[in-house]
Amino acid sequence: MGALTGTIRVPGDKSISHRALMFGALAVGETRVSGLLEGHDVLATADALRAMGAAIEKTSDGEWSIHGVGVGGLLQPDQALDMGNSGTSTRLLMGLVASHGISATFTGDASLSGRPMGRVIDPLGQMGAGFEASPGGTLPLMMKGSLPAVPITYRLPVASAQVKSAVLLAGLNTPGVTTVIEPVPTRDHTERMLKGFGADLSVELVEGERHIRIRGEAELKPQTITVPSDPSSAAFFIVAALLTPGSDLTIENVGLNDTRAGLIGMLQQMGGSIELLDEREIGGEPVADLRVKHSALKGIEVDPQIAPSMIDEFPILFVAAACASGVTTTSGLEELRVKESDRLSAMAAALTAAGARVKETGDGLIIAGTGGAPLPGTSGEPVTTHLDHRIAMSMAVAGIASSAGVEVDDTRPIATSFPTFETLLAQAARD
């Protein structure tokens, strides 16, 4: 594949798209959303909200219209809610159901059904919700909401925006004040957007920890939302352009929320040429256009404190590291073992199959780069993606940066988060 040039725009941010649908479904009146990511995960959220009473449709001008039921107005779904591959849909919707007087059964595909839900079951159980989960606290799972639910103060045992959001969403319909204490900051889209919808939410820094308080029995007001481009999706094109000689690619309207933009700083630290153009704010979220040029990267030691701000981008960072000069060391990444796959083991195996030199540790990878030379690529067996969209896309980029190419076993999971990935990649290489 040739150099990546010209200007592209990647799809809307997945995290913000999920939340725009959910909060619109809880507002009274019509919320309109432009730039919504139309991948399988987000559409699973839309289907579940429809099943609980919200009216959600795509309009003729490409925007999405959501007529909400109001906080406390969710209806009993007639059948199981199929979450597909989406952990975000599952955990956040569990939070919504927890403080409504309804029951819901959550199901998912093989990958999602292996992921732990105990971290959400624990705090929601403290608020009064009841659960019947599969062995190991996994899906299929039936839960019964509590009305009224009990407000709690919950300290997150692990850095997880999904767990934080689930508790805050349960707090929306819970009398009194629900508090989440966050020792390590995670992505804050929930807090930003809830305040935008009119929730009584405050964030206070107490001895270095974020105390997030939400007053329940809220009334959310409908909004008009423009979803910025997803930094996690832009990440694949950023790394592809950095690694491909002759590349000079501009990626428009990328969300640069501090809790999400860690990868850009890491790649700049590695020597990557990434220029932020026209920095601005849209709907309470900072955005910019990114101009990315081919660069000689060098290995670094990644500070584990940065992990929450780029947790989904580590697979593609590993690809960049495999093509850099010197050694890149990562640690503190236990969370990657309970994503759509065990992303540490999966990426170690996939990159090794493509000819990279990788050592897996308990909480990270140590990668000795090629010094800027292409990876050898795979020969024979395709690499295993474990039905994980980010593994598949990361290894597609590794294929671009290889001599013989990289074959992956299944590209279908890419549609869960980035249905136009292959088309955009071909467009960028053709421009």
Which of 424, 420, 423 is closest to 39 using CA atoms? 420
Q: What is the pLDDT of residues 192-223, one digit of tens each?
A: 999 999 999 999 999 999 999 999 999 999 99
Binding residues: 14-15, 19, 87, 115, 160, 162, 312, 339, 343, 390
CB half-sphere exposure, 63, CA atoms < 13 A: 13
pLDDT in tens, 338-347: 888 899 999 9
| DSSP states of 336-349 | GGGSSS-HHHHHHH
Tell me how far apart the alpha carbons of residues 317 and 330 are, in angstroms, rounded to a whole number.
10
Structure confidence at residue 30 (pLDDT): 98
pLDDT confidence of residue 2: 85
- Supply the DSSP string of 109-163, one letter for each residue: -TTGGGS--HHHHHHHHHTT-EEEEETTTEEEEEEE--SS----EEE-SS--HHH
Looking at residue 419, its pLDDT comes to: 87
pLDDT at 355 over 80: yes
**Nearest Cα to 305, choosing from 331, 276, 338?**
331
Q: pLDDT per residue over 49-76, tens digit each?
A: 999 999 999 999 999 999 999 999 999 9
In angstroms, rounded to a whole number, what is the distance separating the alpha carbons of residues 310 and 238? Answer: 14
283, pLDDT greater than 80 = no
* Binding-site residues from annotation for 3-phosphoshikimate: 14-15, 19, 160, 162, 312, 339
**Residue ranges for the binding site for phosphoenolpyruvate?**
14, 87, 115, 162, 343, 390
Asked if the domains 14-226 and 229-430 are classified in one and the same CATH topology, the answer is yes
Q: What is the pLDDT of residues 27-45, one digit of tens each?
A: 999 999 999 999 899 999 9
- Count other C-beta atoms under 10 Å from residue 55's C-beta: 13
In this structure, the dihedral spanned by the alpha carbons of residues 85, 90, 91 and 97, taken in order and rounded to 10 degrees, is 180
pLDDT in tens, 184-196: 889 999 999 999 9
Contact 367, 356 (CB under 8 A): yes
Beta-bridge mates of residue 360: 365
Task: Give me the percent of the chain exceeding a pLDDT of 90.
Answer: 89
List phi, psi (to 5°) of 294.
Answer: -50, 135
Give tens-digit pLDDT for 243-274.
999 999 999 999 999 989 899 999 999 999 99
* 62 Cβ neighbours under 8 A, 6+ residues apart: 34
Q: Is 312 assigned a catalytic role?
A: yes
Pick from 144, 157, 79, 154: which is nearest to 116 by CA?
157
* pLDDT value at residue 352: 97
Confidence category of residue 379, pLDDT binned at 50, 70, 90: confident
According to the model, what pLDDT value does residue 430 have?
A: 78
Burial class (CB in 10 A: 0-12, 13-18, 19+), 176: middle
Element (H, E) at 397: helix 389-400
| pTM, two decimal places | 0.84
* Inter-residue contact 292 to 249 (CB < 8 Å): yes
**DSSP string for 2-17:** ---EEEE-PPBPHHHH
Computed over every residue of the chain, the mean pLDDT equals: 95
Q: Domain residue spans in the chain?
A: 14-226, 229-430
Query: 55 — phi, psi (to 5°)?
Result: -100, 115
Among 82, 230, 289, 312, the active-site one is 312
If DSSP codes are grouped into helix, strand and coil, which group holds residue 353?
A: helix
Residue 431: band (very low, low, confident or very high) from pLDDT cuts 50, 70, 90: low
Q: Is the pLDDT confidence value at 385 over 80?
A: yes
Q: Is 384 helix (H, G, I), strand (E, B) or coil?
A: coil
pLDDT at 335 over 80: yes
CATH superfamily of 229-430: Enolpyruvate transferase domain (3.65.10.10)
Average of per-residue pLDDT across 401-408 = 94
Give domain 14-226's CATH number out of 3.30.300.30, 3.65.10.10, 3.30.930.10, 3.40.50.300.
3.65.10.10
For the segment 158-177, the average pLDDT, to the nearest whole number, is 96
